Structures are given as structure tokens and as C-alpha cells.
Amino acid sequence: MIGARAGEVAAALDRGHTLPFAWYSDPDILALEQRAIFARSWQYAGRADEVAEPGDCLTCRAGPHPIVVVRGRDGVLRALHNVCRHRGSEVVGGPGRRTSLQCPYHAWTYGLDGALRAAPRSEREAGFDRERLGLRPARVETWGPFVFVNADADAAPLADTLGELPSLLSAAGLDVDALAHHARFHYELDANWKVCVENYLECYHCAVAHPSFSDLIDVDPDAYRLEARPTFASHYGPVRERPRGQHYDTGGEVAEGQFHLVWPTLKVNAMPGRANLSIGPLLPLTADRTAGFLDYFFAPGVDPEWLEDFMELDRRVGDEDRALVESVHRGMRSGALEDGRLMLASEHLIAAFQRYVLGAISAT
């Protein structure tokens, strides 16, 4: 289906059209995206301090694949497919500290290195080869205090995906290793994951839909910069010369906002002001629903009043975006239109993202 239409859709993208709206609510398209994009890309899993000591583990997903990240007794950080080799149950149900990884279904027990240590009644099975039945490996790497996984054990290094991003943040005055974790916020949206990403990739809507943000950040197209790179896309938002209304104090190490989307769905945000960073993925649940979370990091000893003002603006923008993406998704799935028309001078990051999606799923 996709292969037959790929050329037609690519030509439409070149003319400024969007992907077909039907692709935003089609479970078959999502199944393709899970295999072609999410199962092969680096995903933010959590914080390094969650898996700092032997036995510490956290669970996450890399597209359709449940993954467990665990610190071994040898101090090595490993990622394993969190799927029992017996009947497919998820072995580890959540974060914690363990001496082994035991499946709750039939008590097959794996070491922290993923090797099968015990399987009840296996002595009754002729030719049972325990050494061939360990948990399958995935990739895990870290960037500063952040842990990433890739379901593909043969994936290219994380650095290939991050590219210049660490140096861009460092040049902006952010030392990610010096930041302290503040909180994690989970959310769910009644919208396709692509709608959510595309909303993040443009600020054409900011002056209309985000008045508080636009009172602080200069969203004029001659001031607000957008840049596309092979593996991520970036916004740069300077502080207005004369900010309007009530806002937090933007004085500090970070002179302007940086907002990065690492393909396919990782948000990395640094607002102007005191040292801060939020990071987290969008995760498709169904074709019509998306989950996400953000981990917030700040310089140690941040002023509580400043922090409260900062988080209030962040919550306000998030609530405004929720209403936007859910409205867009309802309109797309209504069937009233076949596709949309982008404003490429302001939405070229969306065009780059849509070509990325089309290329991945048409290849599959």
C-alpha cells in the first residue's frame, strides 16, 4: 500500500502538501511506523541515577519492544528485551533493585546479565539448553545523566543520532552533568504521535495560541530561528527586548531558548534564564492516542519562587498545546480533507519530519 503511493505522496510533499490525513488515524500505518521507526531508533529511557548501583533497573519501551535496563554486579549497564524466553511474559514490571530478574509467570530466572539461571522442571526436558535461552540484548548508551536504548542490538552509536546537540547546549551555557533532577511529569493526548511532533516543530501558532510564551520569547519570524539537521530539528527563541506581561526572571546562564526534536520524538528543551533542561519522548499508544513524559533538570539550589514561576509558564503552554493537537487530530480523522497545505517558510521542519516518516515506512 505505502510502496504504491510513496512516489505520489513524495511529490505532494514537494508541493507543500502534508502526509495524507488518513495516515494519522490508521492502525496499519502505526504498525509500520513502530517497526520502521521506533524499533530502530534511539529512545530516551530515563536517568542514569536510576541505574547507578548493581541491581538497579528501570523499564521502558523502544517502539513495540519492552526493554529493561539493568546495572550488573560487574558494574556494566545493559539493556535487555524484557520478554521471557518461555512464553513471552514481561519479566520485570517496573523500576527497583533486584538480585535477579524473575518472570512472574513461571519463575524463569535470569541473571542481571540476562543469562538464564533457572527454569523450574527444565531437568525433565530432553535437550533443554539453558545457555541459548537468555534474554535477548538491546543497545544502551548514556549522554551525561540521560540513558538511551535501542531495540536493535546492531544499531549505530548514540552519538550518530545526537550529532551536534550536546555541543549546542554546552555553547548555550548548559553543563548537563551539573544539573539535578527535579521531577518527572507524565501526560497522555488524544492525538496521533505525528500530530504532536508536528505541533512541536513550528512556532507559527505561538503568537495566536501561546500568548504568555510570546510575551516572553520573540516569535517574530525574523527573530525566531528554525534549523533542520539529519537527525534532529531545532528552534532558537530569543528573549524579547521588552518582555510583556508576567513571567519568570530570564536572567541567568541561558541567553535564549533552545528547543530540539531528536528524530523521531525526543524533546530537549532549554528555556532562557537559569540553568534548566527538560527531556522526554512521545510514545504512540494507538493511532489515536499518544503518551509522553518530561524529566525536568535544574541547577542545584534553584530558587523555589523562580522555579514555581518557570513551571507555571511551562504548564500553561502544555495545556494550550493539548487543546491544539487534540483539535487537529479530530479534524484530520473526520475525513473532510485528504491532506493539508504547509506554510513552508514557517513550517519547513514539519516538511523535513514528514519526509523522514515517509522514507522510513516506504522502505519497510
CATH number of the domain to which 203 belongs = 3.90.380.10
C-alpha cell at 239: 528573549
DSSP letters of 230-287? SSEEEEEEEBPSS--SS-----SSB-EEEEEEETTTEEEEE-SBSSEEEEE-EEEEET
* Higher pLDDT, residue 241 or 5: 241
Residue 51 lies in a domain: yes
Q: Would residue 143 count as lying in a domain?
A: yes
Confidence at residue 96, expressed as pLDDT on a 0 to 100 scale = 96
pLDDT tens profile 13-42: 999 999 999 999 999 999 999 999 999 999
Of the candidates 154, 169, 184, which is a domain's last residue?
Answer: 154
327 and 345: one domain?
A: yes
pLDDT category at 247 given cuts 50, 70, 90 is confident
Cell digits of residue 260: 530540539
Burial grade of 287 (CB within 10 A; 0-12, 13-18, 19 or more): buried
In a domain, 35, yes or no: no
Residues 169 and 130 in one domain: no
Question: Quick one: pLDDT at residue 1?
Answer: 56
Last residue within a domain, chosen from 154, 181, 201: 154
CA angle (257 as vertex; 252, 260 as ends), nearest 5: 135
* Per-residue pLDDT reduced to its tens digit, 291-332: 999 999 999 999 999 999 999 999 999 999 999 999 999 999
Helix 193-200 vs helix 304-333: crossing angle, to nearest 10: 130
Beta bridge partners of residue 61, listed in sequence order: 66
The answer to whether residue 263 scores a pLDDT higher than 90 is yes
> How many domains does the chain contain in total?
2
Q: 186 by DSSP, 3-state: which?
A: strand
Taking the C-alpha atoms of residue 96 and residue 103, their distance in angstroms, rounded to an integer, is 15
- pLDDT, tens digit, for every residue of 126-160? 999 999 999 999 999 999 999 999 999 999 999 99
What's the rounded mean pLDDT across residues 170-184? 96
CATH of the domain at 112: 2.102.10.10
Stretch 256-276: mean pLDDT, rounded? 97
Give the pLDDT of residue 84.
Answer: 98
Residue 5 domain flag: no
Considering the domain boundaries, does residue 249 fall inside one?
yes
187 and 293 assigned to the same domain: yes
Give residues with Cβ within 8 angstroms of 20, minimum separation 6: 9, 338, 339
Of 136, 154, 172, the residue at which a domain comes to its end is 154
- Residues 252 and 353 grouped into a single domain: yes
CB distance 261 to 7 below 8 Å? no
Percentage with pLDDT > 90 across the chain: 96
Q: Is 186's pLDDT higher than 80?
A: yes
Classify residue 357: in a domain, yes or no: yes
Residue 149 counted as domain residue: yes
Are 133 and 193 part of one and the same domain? no
Query: Which residue range forms the structural domain that includes residue 79?
Result: 43-154
The answer to whether residue 26 sits within a structural domain is: no
Q: With CA atoms as reference, report the closest residue to 196 among 293, 310, 316.
A: 293
